[in-house]
A and B are shown apart, each in its own frame.
Chain A
Amino acid sequence: MSFKQGAESIKEKISVGFLYHTNKTRLKLEPLTGEIGFERSIKDKNIHRPGLALAGYVQLFRYDRVQVCGNTEMRYLSQIDPKHREEMLRTIFKFKVPCLIITNNNEVDELFIQIAREQGVAIFKTPFETTKLVYFLSDFLDDQFAPQTAIHGSFVDVYGIGLLLVGRSGIGKSEIALDLVERGHRLVADDIVMVTRKGEGILMGSGTDLVKHFMEIRGLGLIDVRSMFGIRAIRFQKRVEVVVELMDWDANADYTRTGLDEEGISILDVQVLGIKLPIFPGKNVTVICEVIALNYLLKHYGYDAAKEFAKRLEAVISEKSKQIGERRVDYFEHDFE
């Protein structure tokens, strides 16, 4: 199964200013050096603790990462000889460090800030303890540097299952999404679905900031699903679990008849369930989409209808070989209702 996927893109860098402005409240960041160094870029999603570099070992100093100084670093600095300390600070700030965050509201003296200023490095202070800060900051940086792709399709949460409808332009993806919304399901995005790989093997889909919950219906133009159907009809993001490819009915194509031969589809190197759905006039695709979601849920809870049926069939066949003259239904109870 294959459909057109947009180019994969990964953000190459973010600026320190962007990091500060998007996280100042969440991470309680307090800038100690004004806006100095806000133009520097962060290119790595990992975080570095410069303990060893401050102790003088700079050979493997990952200066290009966001630096986090916790209690260890700050206490070490406060107890060494002042002259040595100044030398150490000058050494590490000579590297092109993107920025430095001091945790636990540790005291920072004038000299520290002055050296950072001279070298153009932004310094922030936060009341969070190091583990907590690293946890939140990693989450943010992971998200910023996650591989992303734009997929042409409609994305709906159907009974809690993220259903991504794809297919050629004009096949009716938006109309099906609208129909699903009418039946109480929730629209995530229409037309442009931004898919991001989170962690290992998880795909998250959402709309773009500009388009969020607007959709185009051919013949009508643009509509806003959120103001039309209300807050219950939308959601901002959802894990992508099933891809439904709508295709024009083709008598020669090979469609699954039992559901035993499941096909996967790869998006950003993550495998999800893919279903080829031929459509033709009179076919209620909306109901089929609901059934796809319900069937996926059943399988998730351990019941696979196709396998269950196959098992029954095998049982009947093996039973039959022992008997002579059988009927295909059990004996009717005597009520003839």
Chain B
Amino acid sequence: MIEQEVIIKNRAGMHTRPAAVLVKTAAKFKSDFYIYKDGMEINGKSIIGVMTLAAEQGSKLILRFDGADEQDAANEVIDLFSRGFDE
């Protein structure tokens, strides 16, 4: 299991487009992917789940990957966050 804290960098926060990019990326991998924010943990492969977090710029999320390809999944997803979803 891999756990990593990330910060939302882009100005608009995790709105519809980045949320869609995130779940698509996560869905490529077999590993479970969960996001934790403000006492709520959601499935990172579900678009509605990700959007429920309504994560604004600067907010902190804890990502959790669990499964056979967790390292690859973590690398790609964390890279996405560090690029600010290319926005």
Residue positions of A touching B, CB distance < 8 A: 4, 6-7, 9, 150, 152, 169-170, 190-192, 208, 210-211, 214-216, 222
Contacts and interface: CB of A to CB of B under 8 A. Distances in A.
Q: How large is the interface on B (under 10, 10 to 19, 20 to 34, 35 or more residues)?
A: 10 to 19
A21 B49 CA distance: 29
Chain B: interface secondary structure? mixed
Contacts of A4: 32, 34, 43
B32 A192 contact: no
Contact of A190 (B36, B42, B48, B54): B48
Central interface residue in B34, B47, B48, B54, by most chain A CB within 10 Å: B48
B27 A191 contact: no
Nearest to A6: B41
A255 to B, nearest CB: 23
A9 B40 contact: yes
Nearest to B26: A169
B51 interface: yes
B40 A6 contact: yes
A313 B51 CA distance: 54
Nearest to B36: A7
A191 B39 contact: no
A115 B40 CA distance: 41
B45 A192 contact: no
B41 A192 contact: no
Contact of B51 (A169, A190, A211): A211
A208 B49 CA distance: 10
Contact of B48 (A7, A170, A214): A214
B10 interface: no
A216 B27 contact: no
Interface in B10-32: 27, 32
A210 B41 CA distance: 16
Contacts of A150: 40-42
25 contacts: A4-B32, A4-B34, A6-B42, A7-B36, A7-B40, A150-B40, A150-B41, A152-B42, A169-B27, A169-B45, A169-B46, A170-B27, A170-B45, A190-B48, A191-B46, A191-B48, A191-B49, A191-B52, A192-B46, A192-B48, A210-B51, A210-B52, A210-B54, A215-B48, A216-B47
